[in-house]
């Protein structure tokens, strides 16, 4: 803190606009404080000289003037610190892990309630007892499964969002938020996964080709995965719900449902980790290309 007024302090006190403009043009420090701890802007506000206040505020950003809390001038928000490549990788791995946990918990609930249904088939002596036992397991499945399903949707939303944040805007067919939100729309999500997951790999390939790396990511496996999820969701899931009322429950049908859902869940987990690996590899390619470009520009 300075013990005396600077020339800019004196010019503000005297209200000399021309001298203030000259001092600002020469780079005078708007952050300097006098013996009372006041900046030139504080003095202008105290003297209620609106013309000088406006003049100093116009130069505030250029001169990097700090805030004046005593006079109600808020400090500008700090610029966000960009995440490093390693931090972005860890964030993607985190959401992949949470999606995996949610899927496996859902599978566990299905298996436990499925075995409860199988036990009911073996010990029930009448149709009424069987229906009552299945109603109990259905309620348990709903109470335990619904919170897990909601948690999975939240994790999947952030999983897709973080994946798309890695695709440079000039190569991306959609924005990260659009990719994530549209993935949650019922039924439409079956189409959108071909954009959110298959399109992701196509756009990453466009980016790697621009970096001189060629198309690095095989899209055939992603096409197969999206097709499998489509078949499971539409042909098995939706059709199964519509026909469930017309099919007599049996232990064989319960076993088939347990096996099919468990197979799809395990396949989904494996594919999520494949997608994660591809995006992490893309981050390395992107960082390497940007680093090489910066080095060339410096040379």
Q: What is the pLDDT of residues 231-272, one digit of tens each?
A: 888 776 655 555 555 555 666 677 878 888 899 999 999 999
Q: Is the model more confident about 56 or about 149?
A: 149
Is the entire prediction scored with pTM above 0.85? no
Average pLDDT over residues 263-283: 95
Q: Is the model more confident about 185 or about 235?
A: 185
Q: Is the model more confident about 244 or about 169?
A: 169
Range with the largest mean pLDDT of 5-9, 19-23, 87-91: 87-91
pLDDT at 196 over 80: yes
Q: Tell me the percentage of the chain whose pLDDT exceeds 90.
A: 40
Non-local (6+) Cβ contacts of 196 within 8 A are 160, 164, 174, 179, 180, 182, 183
pLDDT at 6 over 80: yes
Of 55, 50, 66, 54, which Cα lies nearest the Cα of 19? 55
| Three-state DSSP class for residue 74 | coil
| Three-state DSSP class for residue 250 | coil
Average pLDDT over residues 164-182: 94
| Three-state DSSP class for residue 11 | helix
| Three-state DSSP class for residue 245 | helix
- Please return the burial class of 56, using the count of CB atoms within 10 Å of its CB with bins 0-12, 13-18 and 19+: buried
Q: Is the model more confident about 241 or about 133?
A: 133
Residue 278: pLDDT band (50, 70, 90) is: very high
| Three-state DSSP class for residue 68 | strand
CA gyration radius, the chain: 32
Average pLDDT over residues 95-116: 93
Beta bridge partners of 68: 73
What is the full DSSP assignment across 212-236? TS---S--HHHHHHHHHHHIIIIII
Q: Is the model more confident about 246 or about 51?
A: 51
Domains and CATH numbers, the chain: 7-71 (1.25.40.20), 89-298 (no CATH)
């Amino acid at each position: 803190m300075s013990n005396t007024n600077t020339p800019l302090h004196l010019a503000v006190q005297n209200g000399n606009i021309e001298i203030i403009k000259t001092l600002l043009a020469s780079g005078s420090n708007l952050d300097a404080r006098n013996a009372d701890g006041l900046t030139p802007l504080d003095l202008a506000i105290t003297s209620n000289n609106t013309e000088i206040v406006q003049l100093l505020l116009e130069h505030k950003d250029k001169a990097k003037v700090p805030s004046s809390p005593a006079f109600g001038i808020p400090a500008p928000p700090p610029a966000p610190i960009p995440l490093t490549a390693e931090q972005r990788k860890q964030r993607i791995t985190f959401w992949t892990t949470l999606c995996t946990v949610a899927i496996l918990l859902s599978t566990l609930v299905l298996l436990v309630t499925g075995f409860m249904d199988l036990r009911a088939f073996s010990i029930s002596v009448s149709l009424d007892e069987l229906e009552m036992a299945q109603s109990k397991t259905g309620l348990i499945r709903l109470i335990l499964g619904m919170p897990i399903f909601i948690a999975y949707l939240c994790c999947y939303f952030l999983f897709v969002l973080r994946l798309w944040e890695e695709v440079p805007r000039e190569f991306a067919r959609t924005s990260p938020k659009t990719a994530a939100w549209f993935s949650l729309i019922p039924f439409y999500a079956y189409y959108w996964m071909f954009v959110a997951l298959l399109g992701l790999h196509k756009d990453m390939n466009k980016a790697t080709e621009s970096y001189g790396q060629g198309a690095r990511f095989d899209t055939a496996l992603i096409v197969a995965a999206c097709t499998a999820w489509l078949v499971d969701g539409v042909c098995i899931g939706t059709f199964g719900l519509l026909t469930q009322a017309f099919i007599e429950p049996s232990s064989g049908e319960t076993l088939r449902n347990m096996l099919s859902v468990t197979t799809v869940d395990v396949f989904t987990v494996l594919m999520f980790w494949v997608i994660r690996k591809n995006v992490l590899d893309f981050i390395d390619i992107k960082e390497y290309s940007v680093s090489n470009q910066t080095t060339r520009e410096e040379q």
